[in-house]
Structure 1
Amino acid sequence: MNLAKYLEISKEVREALENNKPVVALESTIISHGMPYPQNVETALKVEEIVRENGAVPATIAILNGKLKVGLSKEEVDYLGKKGLEVTKASRRDIPAILASEDDGATTVASTMIIAALAGIKVFATGGIGGVHRGAETTMDISADLEELAMTDVAVVCAGAKSILDIGLTLEFLETKGVPVLGYQTKELPAFYTRKSGFKVDYKMDTPEQIAKTLKAKWDVNLKGGVVIANPIPEEFAMDFDTITNAINNAVAEAEEKGIKGKDSTPFLLAKVKDITKGKSLESNIQLVFNNAKLASEIAKNYCEL
């Protein structure tokens, strides 16, 4: 396998991995598609700073000029932020064409997991995972994130499933694929903007050490696939459950009217929710990512010590 032709790991990340130091993978779709410039770049660099402050090395992942990049420079983060929506939102299916055409791609949860695994990174922090979309029983609209979690040995720290999804069906899909859903200090799966969803996680975990031991046990016995680590948004930044539910229901109805589906549905719905909540949902989004970066760093540190 001629991986060296495609994979570029930064010096800092490579040295950390070679010396069994904790590394946390970070996605790049949040930079290109998550928010406007320069707020997107400021947020991405702040997430990296939080990872460092908590004793780990950040590895922001993207595809640039046909290379799988693990660990971006500030200039590369800025480039992605300025290019914004012009960058292809790259999931598993998009990687070969982007590599072959020497193009750029912002990585989703699925593609970040793939590239992190190629580099040997075990822990990844993001906002929320994709899942089964509402009405998927007729549209078959199911995020590639779920299949990736079934196949790829990377733990994903998130604030649960995005609340625009059918959370019950998302959990059913993960159960079928044998993906453990661990709640950090919670028995209930958080729903991105809110700490509650009405659905239970598989196991409540009280410490980062307990989570790290669970990851090690899973992969030591060769149980393939990832783990969802659900970390509720901090109380002070959580949104009112009824307010956010109504906003999402209105956004979903508008998306159906306009025939918006597939990979276009998530950015549309998140943008509509932001408008309906007068920007409060974006601030919540940023804060939950910061919170996930902190927990991911703690888990990565504990995993390296096992």
Structure 2
Amino acid sequence: MSTPGSAVDFEFGAMGFSTKNAYFRFGPHVKEARARRQPIVALETVVVAFGLPRPANLQVAHEMEETIRAEGVVPATIGLLDGQIVVGLTPAELERFAGDEGVRKVSRRDLPIALARRQIGATTVATTVWAAARAGIRVVATGGIGGVHRGAPFDVSNDLPTLATEPVLVVCAGPKAILDLRATREWLETHGIPILGWGMETMPAFYSASSGLPVDARVDSAEEAAAIARVHWTLGGKGILVTVPPPADFALPRERLETILEEAMAEAERAGVQGWALTPFLLARVAERTGGESVALNRALLIENARIAARIARALEA
């Protein structure tokens, strides 16, 4: 294992990158996958550290990886450990993100701080996409992406500008329902990020099957999504979204969800909760007020997104 101060030299054929950087380390299964030219799907760690309660967080992380492997694709869960960005955490390393109280949420602005201080850092969608692009990984699977916050159009998640600058396809259940979905949709359009709907003409809203907002194109197969992504990248495009509705057996009605969110937002304002703490606060309130239904839903959509991401990654390598 290399450490800061000793260079890592790793060839990435799929995207033409060659990295020589002391701050990257690659799991043995990722190195082997590259050597064999196997497709890879990157996964974030914020959902493990902050997105789900224990012990579901670690269980879901393992289930997502197993779902990807079942499709003949290699999972690469990304996180910061011991002063390095690890692309492809081992099971023992992943456990540290599920149970350590000292885990830091790391967006792109936090990378130099967390690395210099050798902190355990859980990667957001933005950081995962950024790292995946440098590791030659074209596909990332997650739950929901960040976006434009309600009542604060100046408050934009770094997920969006990162998608606008990195050539990576992200499979998700749409922007998180706590956001201003219309403003988020407009931001994506303005910055040239295509939104594809998996079997849908409308964009899902994380917990709900439809936001009522249109996607740019419906796709009904991994091959179709891969074909559009290839053309997008050939033309110089960057990020692309494949939005997948949550499994029908788990999805929450939009009206019920909106009522819960309005109450939770008001409570957050009274309590002075803001910044990065707002999202976990709201998600926790939604979980409480749905009697745990949202946790089961989150688990189901994460696994489904991992499955579809793996199929698209495989189609891209075909």
By the TM > 0.5 criterion, same fold?
yes
Corresponding residue number in structure 2 for 1:207: 221
The answer to whether the Cα contact below 8 Å between 2:33 and 2:40 also exists between their aligned partners in 1 is yes
- Provide the C-alpha distance between the structure 1 equivalents of 2:254 and 2:151, rounded to a whole number of angstroms: 21
Deviates most, 245-254 or 58-67: 245-254
> Offset at 1:19?
2.8
Corresponding residue number in structure 2 for 1:298: 311
Specify the SS of the correspondent of 1:25: strand
- Provide the C-alpha distance between the structure 1 equivalents of 2:229 and 2:294, rounded to a whole number of angstroms: 31
The answer to whether the Cα contact below 8 Å between 2:195 and 2:217 also exists between their aligned partners in 1 is yes
The answer to whether the Cα contact below 8 Å between 2:27 and 2:89 also exists between their aligned partners in 1 is yes
1:218 aligns with 2:235: no
Corresponding residue number in structure 2 for 1:267: 280
Specify the SS of the correspondent of 1:68: strand
- Provide the C-alpha distance between the structure 1 equivalents of 2:52 and 2:204, rounded to a whole number of angstroms: 22
More helix by share: 1
More strand by share: 2
Corresponding residue number in structure 2 for 1:235: 248
Corresponding residue number in structure 1 for 2:293: 280
Letter in 1 for 2:164: A
> Offset at 1:2?
7.3
Instruction: Tell me which of 59, 67, 70 is aligned to 2:87.
Output: 70
> Offset at 1:190?
0.3
Percent identity, please: 43
1:162 aligns with 2:176: yes
Corresponding residue number in structure 2 for 1:184: 198
- Provide the C-alpha distance between the structure 2 equivalents of 1:41 and 1:118, rounded to a whole number of angstroms: 26
> Offset at 1:100?
1.4
Corresponding residue number in structure 1 for 2:131: 115
Corresponding residue number in structure 2 for 1:132: 148
The answer to whether the Cα contact below 8 Å between 1:22 and 1:300 also exists between their aligned partners in 2 is yes
Q: Name structure 1 gaps, 5 residues minimum.
A: none
The answer to whether the Cα contact below 8 Å between 1:17 and 1:120 also exists between their aligned partners in 2 is no
> Offset at 1:111?
0.2
- Provide the C-alpha distance between the structure 2 equivalents of 1:294 and 1:194, rounded to a whole number of angstroms: 19
1:48 aligns with 2:65: yes
Letter in 2 for 1:194: S
- Provide the C-alpha distance between the structure 2 equivalents of 1:159 and 1:5, rounded to a whole number of angstroms: 34
Specify the SS of the correspondent of 1:288: helix
- Provide the C-alpha distance between the structure 1 equivalents of 2:235 and 2:241, rounded to a whole number of angstroms: 18
- Provide the C-alpha distance between the structure 2 equivalents of 1:236 and 1:37, rounded to a whole number of angstroms: 23
Specify the SS of the correspondent of 1:130: coil
1:34 aligns with 2:48: no
The answer to whether the Cα contact below 8 Å between 2:138 and 2:168 also exists between their aligned partners in 1 is yes
CA distances 1:164-204 after superposition (whole Å, capped 9, x unpaired) = 11000001111111111111110000001110111111111
Specify the SS of the correspondent of 1:173: helix
- The aligned runs of 1:136-151 (5 Å cut-off) are 136-137=152-153, 140-151=154-165
Specify the SS of the correspondent of 1:33: helix
Instruction: Tell me which of 158, 171, 194 is aligned to 2:185.
Output: 171
The answer to whether the Cα contact below 8 Å between 2:19 and 2:134 also exists between their aligned partners in 1 is no
Letter in 2 for 1:255: A
Deviates most, 284-293 or 1-10: 1-10
The answer to whether the Cα contact below 8 Å between 1:31 and 1:40 also exists between their aligned partners in 2 is yes
> Offset at 1:44?
0.4
- Provide the C-alpha distance between the structure 1 equivalents of 2:45 and 2:34, rounded to a whole number of angstroms: 20
Letter in 1 for 2:273: I
Specify the SS of the correspondent of 1:171: helix
- Provide the C-alpha distance between the structure 2 equivalents of 1:241 and 1:18, rounded to a whole number of angstroms: 46
Residues matched between the structures, number: 301
